[in-house]
Chain A
Amino acid sequence: QQQVKQSPQSLIVQKGGISIINCAYENTAFDYFPWYQQFPGKGPALLIAIRPDVSEKKEGRFTISFNKSAKQFSLHIMDSQPGDSATYFCAATRETSGSRLTFGEGTQLTVNP
Chain B
Amino acid sequence: DAGVTQSPTHLIKTRGQHVTLRCSPISGHKSVSWYQQVLGQGPQFIFQYYEKEERGRGNFPDRFSARQFPNYSSELNVNALLLGDSALYLCASSFSSGLYNEQFFGPGTRLTVL
**Residue A110 at the B interface, CB < 8 A?**
no
Q: Output the residue of A91, A96, A99 with the most chain B CB within 10 A.
A: A99
**Chain A residues closer than 8 Å to B50, beta-carbon distance:** 98
* Per-residue B-contact encoding for A86-113, CB less than 8 Å = 1, 0 else: 0001010101111111111110000000
Docked pose: A89 CA to B37 CA in angstroms: 12
B53 to chain A, nearest CB (A): 12
**Residue B103 at the A interface, CB < 8 A?**
yes
**Chain B residues closer than 8 Å to A45, beta-carbon distance:** 104-105
Q: Looking at the complex, which one of A96, A97, A105 makes contact with B42 (CB distance below 8 Å)?
A: A105
28 pairs of residues in contact across A and B, judged by CB atoms under 8 Å: A41-B107, A42-B107, A43-B90, A43-B92, A43-B106, A43-B107, A44-B43, A44-B90, A45-B105, A46-B103, A89-B43, A91-B42, A96-B98, A98-B48, A98-B55, A98-B56, A98-B97, A98-B98, A98-B99, A98-B101, A99-B33, A99-B92, A99-B94, A100-B45, A101-B45, A103-B43, A105-B42, A106-B40
**Chain B residues closer than 8 Å to A95, beta-carbon distance:** 99-100
Interface residues of B (CB under 8 A from A): 4, 31, 33, 35, 40-45, 48, 50, 55-56, 58, 90, 92, 94, 97-108
